[in-house]
Chains A and B, each alone.
Chain A
Amino acid sequence: SQQGEEDPQALSIQEGENATMNCSYKTSINNLQWYRQNSGRGLVHLILIRSNEREKHSGRLRVTLDTSKKSSSLLITASRAADTASYFCATVSVDTGRRALTFGSGTRLQVQP
């Protein structure tokens, strides 16, 4: 079963705008990761934030984590057409013995040139 939900399910923006997607999860986590998937192919790791961190940056990506609300957000600044993809959050939890990633349902991002 999916760990949680992502919001919005789909997002369409213009090149240069910022894109924000949100993720909620259900259990206590060790860390939360964001992945990108192009056209139903393999996933690429973008960024990881640990449960004791609140914010992390990597290039044009900014991730926040609120463990009290069991939620995270991914911000992509100054978006490009090449950012068009599906984005998934995935959690690593003690419940699974830290053996599995539990994915959300994903946000499909379309960046119009």
Chain B
Amino acid sequence: ETGVTQSPTHLIKTRGQQVTLRCSSQSGHNTVSWYQQALGQGPQFIFQYYREEENGRGNFPPRFSGLQFPNYSSELNVNALELDDSALYLCASSALGGRVGNEQFFGPGTRLTVL
């Protein structure tokens, strides 16, 4: 059984650019959630994908968007990058069909730096 993987590990972009982050969920998990963690803070919920559709969203603007594929892997896209988007982006998977009842399995994260 493979765990949650994310790519790339690190990324440097400039303000105004667009970025795509990728996540492969743990085997058998059909729900993927994305979180943003600023330095020194706890993670904040961006959105969740279940059955290839957005299934819940936190307080993030529309320039944060995502996709889920039939194999349950997911992408996070951020357009028009701002300096404040610099953060660790975490992907988490679960097998509860759009609900977070038990533990979430987190990937190692992608560190995004916006210059």
List chain A positions with a Cβ less than 8 A from chain B. 1-2, 30-31, 33, 35, 40-45, 48, 88, 90, 92, 96-106
> A99 contacts which chain B residues (CB < 8 A)?
33, 48, 55-56, 98-100
- Contact present for A101 and B45 (CB under 8 Å): yes
List chain B positions with a Cβ less than 8 A from chain A. 4, 33, 35, 37, 39, 41-45, 48, 55-56, 58-59, 88, 90, 92, 98-109, 111
A30 to B33: give the CA distance in the assembly, Å.
18
> B100 contacts which chain A residues (CB < 8 A)?
92, 98-101
> A96 contacts which chain B residues (CB < 8 A)?
45, 56
Cβ of A61 to closest chain B Cβ, rounded Å: 14
- Contact present for A41 and B108 (CB under 8 Å): yes
Cβ of B57 to closest chain A Cβ, rounded Å: 9
> B55 contacts which chain A residues (CB < 8 A)?
99
- Contact present for A42 and B41 (CB under 8 Å): no
A35 to B106: give the CA distance in the assembly, Å.
10
Set A42, A48, A88: member contacting B109, Cβ < 8 A: A42
Task: Tally A-B pairs: CB < 8 A.
Answer: 75
> A42 contacts which chain B residues (CB < 8 A)?
4, 90, 106-109
> B88 contacts which chain A residues (CB < 8 A)?
40
> A101 contacts which chain B residues (CB < 8 A)?
33, 35, 43, 45, 92, 100, 104
Q: Which chain A residue has the least Cβ–Cβ distance from B88?
A: A40
A105 to B92: give the CA distance in the assembly, Å.
18
A106 to B48: give the CA distance in the assembly, Å.
22
- Contact present for A2 and B103 (CB under 8 Å): no
- Contact present for A45 and B103 (CB under 8 Å): yes
A25 to B104: give the CA distance in the assembly, Å.
19
- Contact present for B103 and A33 (CB under 8 Å): yes
A48 to B44: give the CA distance in the assembly, Å.
19
Chosen A-B contacts, 21 in total, with CB atoms closer than 8 Å, are: A1-B44, A30-B101, A33-B103, A40-B111, A41-B109, A42-B106, A42-B109, A43-B106, A44-B106, A45-B103, A45-B105, A48-B103, A88-B43, A92-B101, A96-B45, A99-B48, A99-B56, A100-B33, A102-B45, A103-B44, A105-B41
